[in-house]
Amino acid sequence: MTKSLDNSRAKEESKDDKILA
């Protein structure tokens, strides 16, 4: 459960980073 949460969170973060970049 925690792993899934971290995974989805990391995905969203990388998405935001791409948009910012």
Render 1-21 in DSSP notation, one character per residue.
-HHHHHHHHHHHHHHHHHHH-
For a pLDDT cut of 90, what percent of the chain falls above it? 0
List of the chain residues with pLDDT < 70? 1, 20-21
Q: Give the integer Cα–Cα distance in Å for 19 and 1.
A: 27
Predicted structure pTM score:
0.25
pLDDT of residue 16: 75
Q: Give the integer Cα–Cα distance in Å for 9 and 21.
A: 18
